[in-house]
Structure 1
Amino acid sequence: MSSVPGRENMTRLGIMVHCRNLATEAWEELVFGRPEHNQLGDHATLARVVLCLESSEELACVVFGRGTSWRDGLNEGDYSKKFLLDNLDRLREFPALAPLLARRDGGGLAAFRRSMEAVIVTAEVRNTVEEIEAASAIFARHGVEKVIQIAAASHAARCVKELTAARARGRIGADRLWFTVATDMAYHGTGPEDVVVLEPLHRRDQPMTSVRPGLAEAIAPYFRLPDEDKKEFIALVEEFMTRPAGRRDRDPLGVPGRPCPRGAGGACAGGGHPFERGSRAVEHAGSTATSETPAVPASPQGECVRCAPPGITPPGDDPDGPG
């Protein structure tokens, strides 16, 4: 993977493969993939990226993260590298990779193998942030200008978040272009649609944007809770989400909500429907909410959307979708 004479203007590419704890359920399948379904895991995706390099790109290095788990006397990174090399010939089983490998002559296949044998394993890291920072330091030493990070479909969204956060804090070089490639494999028994992304609210036409703390802020401390507290929290959320809708017309502490600020006597257009203001449930005057009377969100002015001035759009009614 050294520089080729006459190619000084080529873009030096670095590839990072996020590590996977060796205790992960169905580890081998997640890392390799399912050839019979043409679903590429971490290593098969790595092969595809290398085999599809542009003529203007030069592979500078491949980096594997090294987490804290061990198996057969090998640390996580070294075990993953050994697994890759032991299964290199099986990559032909993937319909997506077979023609790419077939186009390589003997010298091209030998070069491909050498690039896999030259995989660099980071020092031990405790989390995704440390893994990105460790890989970034290696890329800097190898003069990498463009990075492709590879992660499982279940993990890729988090890797993008941690990457941008590390860059914002100045922990990785801002002069290096990073791309993320998600594999075809999700965690065992799940799919990519099971990943939940909590983006901070930001649109002025969404009533909940003015509520503080927002859900993303409120949920952040969850990951630092002891396991027993996490279990309790999950039970509370599950109980709330499965409540009959008619029970949501009351404050979480059981205190009836306040009347709509538009007042009684027909001034409110909500027709007696309950609506949400902040984290407290608020009722229209004289409301008799049942499971058939859906909640009407509040505007930032504290009125229900049905009473709010023009321009306040109920969530879910935006024709352009989220954004």
Structure 2
Amino acid sequence: MKKETRHRATIIDVAKRAGVSKSTVARVLGGSPNISEEAAERVHAAVSATGYEPNHLAVGMRSGRSGLLGLVIPDIANPFWADVARGAQDQAAKEGMSLLVFSSDWDSAKEAAHLRALRQARVDGAIINPVADNLDGLDRFGMPFVLIGSSAESFPDTSSVGSDIAQGVRLGMDVLLAHGHAQPAFILGPKSKLARARFLRAINQHCIERDIDPASLHTEDSDYTVEGGKEAMSRLLERASKGRHLAVFCANDLMALGAILAVRDAGLRCPEDVSILGFDGIPSGAFSWPALTTIEKDGRKIGSTTVTCLFDEMAGRPEHGRVYIPCRLIERGSLANLLAGNTDRLAAGR
């Protein structure tokens, strides 16, 4: 049976149905004020009836704008970055723009390929989370852009948006201390990443302010994945003192979820034996067992704010510098309160 190919409506079809010229259709769709109300109504009715969609590429060639923005993030599978993309998409849609989303998978070669694709698509601007912490020649992007993520702080002369990591780490350290965990262990990112250095710097500053020796704290490095967190937690458990409650602050929620799995595999319980604090606020943390206490980064706010900054860049308005979005605490069930004595009583009854 031969498959029918539906004819794609053109501006000529709209003009015939509305009983006007092609130029009149173009002027109506372009928002020209010098069109009678009756003619405009006929054109819009014809567009609706035929299903006509303007050729945005052709319109862009005439106007110098494509109506497209680009977003390059490191890991679309991480719910935090998916949230950033959603916030950016929603804000772009409010401005009548569409968003092209690419995931670099923390690979600089993929990132470069995605940026080439965005240039070829003639996007009006791009939002980029640089994979490398030391990008050379930012002008090679060839388009207005705003940076996001930790690497962006390496470029103080470029507009960027990100979470206030130092504020978020202090918030986490304060809640740990308030629950009796004066010397937690940490699961951090790879040593090659600026994000790890920023996280560790905030930890050290907090310890110094409270007369705690930072060298006394145990740390494990990992990649930012569930499996990485699980492996790092297993190493911490091997080094931990038997019978002593262990608290662990993870640099992202995927690591923290992996840490909970490692605790369970070791025959221990969270939070009775091991307390775990995450960082990101991804939705899946609410459905783990126990539900994950975490420091939430507002991914949607980051995405929407970055698009607003990008429109300013496209319009040639002054740069914003670094815009920090504050974090907030989400308390659930993975953090024991040692000061209340609950964990001691549970452990004694085992």
TM bracket, shorter-chain basis? under 0.3
Q: Which has the higher helix share?
A: 2
Which structure would you say has the larger RCO, counting Cα contacts within 8 Å and 6 or more residues apart?
Answer: 2
Q: TM-score, normalised by structure 1?
A: 0.28
Q: TM-score, normalised by structure 2?
A: 0.26
